[in-house]
């Protein structure tokens, strides 16, 4: 018979799982300009990966992904703080990727040093036909056009190391049918176990965001072996 003590031990795990599930972005409400898919898998019940998405206007979409050093509850606390900071920036109308990273970096450096965070942010603008991005030690943002993939590399050090670090925007065309992919290094490191690269898999996958995310998810599950890390990926296509 299960004792009440055992029940109390299990309950926090269930609550952590619910907390994680509630944090995964719901992409069904995206405007008619965009279509997306997302997958997040923490190493345990809760993890240190972050994906935040919001619609700045009918034609503008903001995406931020981050990977906190470490795992579990300690990393998740930092993720929660970052989510709150981004919520403030959303309501302030901030959409410039470099400004979003700077807004995250200052409090992280002041309050959570030496726990650093890699991050990438981008603004998809369907009306202007552009994607503007900025990165902080994070895996490159990928832009797939037909069967070719362009990498938008991070140009700054991770967040939380130096309070005055500068972040830089770069802008490239975003055509109808282009798909933007953001991911954390749990994806790339798991694929590397099977001798695979994210860029090659994104180029070879089916044309839609769901196909790209599904292919990465299923391949990670097959190849990760004993590698244990939080895994996150989001793909958004401009219609």
pLDDT of 20 above 70: no
Note the residue count of the chain: 239
- For 157, half-sphere exposure in the C-beta direction (CA atoms, 13 angstrom radius) is 9
Does residue 121 have a pLDDT over 90? Answer: yes
Domain ranges of the chain: 32-238
**Structural Rg of the chain based on CA atoms:** 18
pTM over 0.85? The answer is yes
Average pLDDT over residues 34-57: 93
53, 54, 47, 38: which is closest to 17 by C-alpha? 47
Which pair of structure tokens corresponds to residue 175?
Answer: 């055509």
Instruction: Decide if domain 32-238 falls under CATH 3.60.40.10.
Output: yes
What digits encode the pLDDT tens for the residues 158-171?
A: 999 999 999 999 99
Q: Which residue has the tokens 């990966």?
A: 49
* Per-residue confidence band for 18, with pLDDT thresholds at 50, 70 and 90: low
């Amino acid at each position: 018979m299960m004792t009440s003590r055992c029940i109390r031990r299990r309950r926090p795990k269930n609550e952590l799982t619910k907390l994680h599930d509630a944090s995964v972005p719901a992409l069904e409400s995206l405007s008619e300009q965009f279509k997306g898919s997302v997958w997040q898998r923490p190493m345990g019940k809760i993890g240190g990966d972050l994906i935040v998405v919001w619609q700045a206007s009918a034609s503008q979409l903001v995406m931020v992904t981050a990977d906190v050093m470490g795992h579990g509850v300690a990393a998740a606390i930092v993720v929660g703080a970052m989510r709150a900071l981004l919520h403030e920036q959303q309501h302030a109308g901030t959409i410039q990727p470099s400004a979003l990273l700077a807004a995250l970096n200052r409090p992280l450096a002041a309050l959570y040093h030496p726990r650093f965070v890699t991050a990438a942010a981008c603004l998809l603008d369907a009306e202007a036909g552009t994607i503007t991005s900025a990165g902080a030690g994070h895996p490159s943002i990928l832009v797939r056009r037909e069967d070719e993939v362009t990498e938008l590399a991070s140009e700054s050090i991770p967040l939380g190391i130096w309070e005055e670090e500068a972040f830089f925007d770069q802008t490239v065309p975003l055509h109808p049918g282009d798909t933007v992919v953001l991911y954390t290094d749990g994806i790339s490191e798991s694929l590397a176990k099977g001798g695979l690269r994210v860029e090659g898999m994104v180029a070879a996958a089916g044309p839609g965001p769901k196909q790209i995310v599904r292919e990465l998810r299923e391949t990670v599950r097959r190849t990760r072996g004993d590698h244990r890390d939080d895994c996150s990926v989001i793909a958004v296509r401009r219609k």
